[in-house]
Amino acid sequence: MNYKILVVDDEAPVRELFNDLFKKEGCSVKTASTGEESVEMVAKEDFEVVLMDIKLTGMSGLEALKQIKELKPATVVIMITGFGYDEDLILKSKEYGCAGYIGKNMSISQMITSFKLFAQTARAKVK
């Protein structure tokens, strides 16, 4: 796996964990701590996959997802959620074009598997 990834989460330990994990998997990783910052970064630079926490302070994860998909529709956005399952949020993010979601209640291996699946499927569609 060698995607160029942007991780968006307002908590530093979570950002660092994703950074370490995906670097270990062979990806190049950059991080942002707010929705606003992530939109700015996507505008300046191309990322293949954005991992976006659904719950952010300031601009919400949903709003950031919407703006990124408007800005660069080819970017694959995967949502991260601390919620076990929230129907409303998931339906809404699907509507805005997210490729899938990863729960923070998953184990690391489950999460990596899900990530790979979503990213591959979405990239295949783009191509």
Interaction of residue 104 with other proteins, rule CB under 8 A: yes
Under DSSP, the state recorded for 114 is: H
- Nearest-CA neighbor of 7 among 45, 38, 43? 38
Task: Closer to other proteins by CB, 58 or 82: give it.
Answer: 82
Q: Residue 13, interface with other proteins (CB under 8 A)?
A: yes
Tokens 């700015």, located at residue: 40
Q: Which two tokens stand for residue 28?
A: 């190049």
- Asked if residues 1 and 48 have their Cβ atoms less than 8 Å apart, the reply is no
Binds other proteins (CB under 8 A): choice among 26, 109, 124, 127? 109
Contact status: 57 vs other proteins (CB under 8 A): no
Per CB under 8 A, which region of 27-35, 63-71, 101-109, 115-123 contacts other proteins? 101-109
